[in-house]
Structure formats: C-alpha cells, structure tokens
A and B are shown apart, each in its own frame.
Chain A
Amino acid sequence: MSLAWDNGVRQFDYWAKVYQRTWKGSLISSFLVPLLYLAAMGVGLGTFVDGSGTNALGGVSYLQFLAPGLLAATGLQIAVSEATYPVMGGIKWHKTYFSMIATPLRSADVMYGQLGFIAFRVVSSCAVFLGVIALFGGLGSPLGLLGLPIALLVGMAVAAPVCAAATRLETDAGFAMIFRFGVLPMSLFSGAFFPVSQLPDAVEWLAYVAPLWHGVELTRDLSLGTFSLLPAIINVAYLLLWFAVGTRLAVTGLEKRLIS
C-alpha cells in the first residue's frame, strides 16, 4: 500500500508540474462557464420562475434550487474532460504513460496518479465556483459548503469509468459520444435544472441510475437543509460503487494497453 501511495504521489507531482504551465487555459471551461450559467439561469431565468406563482420547488428560490445542482454538474463535467483526452494522450499521442512505466512505476500507479490529478482539478475548480455561489446568495445554509466533497465524489464516480473507457478506445470519436449521450443529457436531466419528478416515468428511472442525480440530491439537501441520513448514505454508497468499479476497470484497461 505504501509503495502504491508513494508512486501515486510521484505521478501527481508530474501532473501538477504540467498544470503549472497550462492552468490559464482551463480557467474558462472550469470557472467562467458555470459562472455564466449561474447568472443566466439562476438569476435571469430565476426571476421568471420565482415570479410565475408555481410552487413546484416548494417555496425555494430558483437560484438556491439550481446552484447546488450546478455545482455537482460542474464537478462531473470537469472530471470527464480530464479523464478523456489526457488519458488517450498518455497512451496514444504523447505516450507519456509508456515512459512512466519504464521506471519503477506500475500501470496501476500511473492510473492512480491520473485520478489524483483529476481529483485536484475538480476540487480546485469547484471550490472557486462554490465561493461564487455563496456570494450570489445561492446557498440555503452554510451546510451547503459541504457540497464541495460531494462534487468531488460525483466527479470521481464518473471519471474512473470514463478513464476505463479511454484506455479501451482506439480513437477519440468515442469521446464525442460520451459527451453527447452521457455528460450532456446527464447534466440536463439529473434534476439540476428542474425536479426529476417532472420527467416521464421511464426517463425518471434513467435519472436515478445516473450518478449525477445522486450528487445533485446530496448537494441540494445539504444546502437547503432537507438532509436525512439514510437516503444520503445510499447516495454516497452508490457513487462510491461507481468509483470503485470504475477504478478497477481503468487499472486493468491501462495494464492491458501498456503491457501487451
């Protein structure tokens, strides 16, 4: 264990160095985009939702309903974008993974290091976004700040299986499919923008299967104080399951790809 940890930390160090040179390029996607969504939907559209007289949100302002959901969705989006092209790049284009395993590092260490860096990207971006949400008045209670670890959990629950897919894909055309049929519909229909109970029954069940819904439930319940323990434990456990299985598959996938 300690060896794996040690090796993972070394990998993280590598990614951190790379990020020192490229972080400016990630500012827009990881920070400005969710901020603009918050302004356009939460504040702009929110005035119409709040003024319409419908009570579908149970008396909560649209901004406070939306913001925790957007936080979880942002965690998801950053995680997936960091788990697609960089992983394929390590195998196919830059081939950094091959040079890494020419050292005492094993494929598993390489994957742990990659996942560690993804975690860093999710936490750092979401922390900034959470600060902005708080300034906008998007949090229902200070407990909403606990949305940060939840956003991280959502991100990792999806990043790990996406890494697993990236290690098995031959071309990046598959990523377009992951974004169009995975990330986008999940972001739009997992309860971040409107309650999933409004969806047709069959689609509603799809939303419950999607990891993001569990994250949105958790972040929103924490922020609005509608938190209760048992459902929360189930949500967390479900996300951890995705993460564990995904990580396993990512490690075996990378192993097969690098050593064959």
Chain B
Amino acid sequence: MATTLAARIVPIPSSGLRLVERNFLVYRRSWLVFVSGFFEPVFYLLSIGVGVAALVGDFTLAGGTVVSYTAFVAPAMLASSAMNGAIFDSTYNIFFKMKYLHLYDAILATPMRPWNVATGEITWALLRGACYSAAFIVVMLVMGLIDSWWALLALPVSVLIAFAFAAAGMALTTFMRSWQDFEFVQVSIMPMFLFSATFYPVETYPTAVQWIVEATPLYQGVALIRALTTGSVGWHLLIHVAYLAAMGGIGLYVASRRLGRLLLK
C-alpha cells in the first residue's frame, strides 16, 4: 500500500520510452499510412534506377569499381528516404503536436522532462525509419544490388542518418513560427535530394560546387551507404560517421534546451 502511494507522489524516473509507446498506440490506428511509407523509395528506385538505367549504362566509381546504374542509385535512395522520413517526423509532426495538440504541455505536466520528450520523439522516428530501411535493404538484396557483406552495416548507418536529420529537424522546428516557415525545410531538403550525388557522381560538378555538395549531410550519408553496399570500404568512412553523429548530438541538445525554454515558462 505504502509503496504504491509513494510511486504516485514521488516522480518516478521516466524516460522517452513512454512517448514512444504513445506514438505506437496512435499509429496502430493508421497503420496503412505507416506501411505505405515503404513504397515511396521503392517507386523511385524502380523508375529512376531501373527505367532510366536502361538509358544510362554503367558507372565507374571513384575507387575504380564498375557498378550498374541501378546499384549506383539504390544506396542514394536508401539514404534519402532515411532523411525524408526523419525530417517529416521531426518537423511537421512535432510542430503540429507542439502548437495544435499541445501534447508536450500535457506531457511536461507529468514527471517527464524536455530531454525525455526530445529523446522519445527521436527514438520513435528512428524506429520507424529503421523499419523502412530494413525493408528497402531486403528489396536491394532481392534485386541483386548488394555486392558486399559490409551492406549489413547499411541498416545502422541509415538509422544514423535518420538520427542526424531527426535531431536537427526537431531543433529547427522549435524555431518555427508558422507553417510558412516550413518552406525553408523544403528549400533545403529538395536540392539535397536531387544534387547530393544521388543520381550521378559528385565528380560531374565543377570543383567549387563539389565542395558545397560534399559539405551537405545527405552527401555524407549517400557516400557512406554507397561505399558499404558496393564494398569499397576504408577508414575514411569514419569521417562521415563522425559528421552525422555530431550533427545528431548537437541537434538533440539544442532541441531539448529549446523545448524547455518554450514550454516551461
């Protein structure tokens, strides 16, 4: 008796997992939307990677490996879909929950803290992204687009990409004033999707443009996954990992600080 009472009065140590559970319960009712998210990158892969591939021919990678155009595009689709899913979850969804549902106000009235909210939402985004990525990797395997056992690491790496974008997206969302501001999200995501060595090698661009492309986070992810699925692996890949991990870490810190400032007044 005494223990149950104590558990009610004294704030129990909680974690973001409660929020993950809440999101899971909500999504159970719209599972079709969840499942259909898998098809988007697959459609792109089939159209560009198979249809347009017949017009393009094979590509020679920087390391000298020759790959089919489909095998060149597929890892980029995997990285892009990790980015897109994470951004969608961490921007539009978070903004809606924050401004319209006032969900976080309610959550912060419980023992949960802004840090729990930030980690909980991001964990959810990552779990969801991991499902899509795993399914996509299976599609790549079935289509014969994977040349190396290193591809096993493509799943954790897509989760890392999702982490970087989800955390940064959530941090930026805390600065948004209205839906109009989401134009900026579109303006940065769209060019990254199209120009981050997704559809053709970065060497195509003039040197100055190459530098700009290589500085973008999506390029880091594409280069990393492409190296893994084509089997041209080296220590330099750790630089990409460090870049994405730093982006995610900083994003997470800023997001939880800002949530605290916005909601606990």
Chain A residues with Cβ below 8 Å from B187 are 28, 32
Verify A44–B204 contact, CB threshold 8 A.
yes
* CB-based contact A28/B57 at 8 Å: no
| CB atoms of B55 and A194 under 8 A apart | yes
Asked if A96 is at the interface of the complex by the 8 Å CB criterion, the answer is no
Report A-chain residues with C-beta under 8 Å of the C-beta of B243.
none
In which size bucket is the chain B interface? 20 to 34
B 205-236 to A, binary, CB cutoff 8 A, 1 in contact else 0: 00000000000000000000000000000000
Q: Cβ of B127 < 8 Å from any Cβ of A?
A: no
Residue from B30, B40, B55, B195 within 8 A of A49 (CB atoms): B55
Q: Residues of A contacting B44 with CB < 8 Å? A: 188
Contacts of A57 in B (CB 8 A): 55
Does B199 interact with chain A (Cβ within 8 Å)?
A: yes
Contacts of A220-260 to chain B: CB distance below 8 A: none
A173 to B187, CA, bound (A): 25
Name A29's closest neighbour in chain B (CB-CB): B186
Number of A-B residue pairs at CB separation under 8 A:
92
Q: Report yes or no: B195 in contact with A40, Cβ–Cβ below 8 A.
A: yes
Contact A180 B36 (CB under 8 A): yes
Q: Are B51 and A45 in contact (CB under 8 A)?
A: no
- Smallest CB–CB gap between A240 and chain B, Å? 28
Residues 141 to 184 of chain B near chain A (Cβ within 8 Å): 179-180, 183
Q: Which residues of chain B have C-beta atoms less than 8 A from A173's C-beta?
A: 30, 32-33
Q: Confirm or deny: B24 has a beta carbon within 8 angstroms of a beta carbon on chain A.
A: no
Residues of B within 8 A of A47 (CB): 200, 204
Decide if B108 is an interface residue (CB 8 Å cutoff): no
Would B33 and A48 count as touching, CB distance under 8 A? Answer: no
**A52-B48 contact, Cβ under 8 Å, with A36-B191, A181-B36, A184-B43:** no
- Asked if B200 and A48 sit within 8 Å, CB to CB, the answer is yes
Which one, A54, A176, A188, contacts B57 given CB within 8 A?
Answer: A54
B183/A28 in contact, CB under 8 A: yes
Q: Which chain A residue shows the least CB distance to B53?
A: A194
List 6 additional contacts besides A44-B195, A199-B51; criterion CB under 8 Å.
A44-B199, A44-B204, A54-B57, A173-B30, A180-B40, A184-B40
List of 10 A-B pairs having minimum Cβ-Cβ separation, nearest first: A188-B47, A40-B194, A194-B51, A52-B57, A49-B55, A180-B36, A48-B56, A194-B52, A45-B199, A176-B33
* Interface residue ranges, B against A (CB under 8 Å): 30, 32-33, 36-37, 39-40, 43-44, 46-48, 51-52, 54-57, 59, 179-180, 183, 186-187, 190-191, 194-195, 199-200, 204
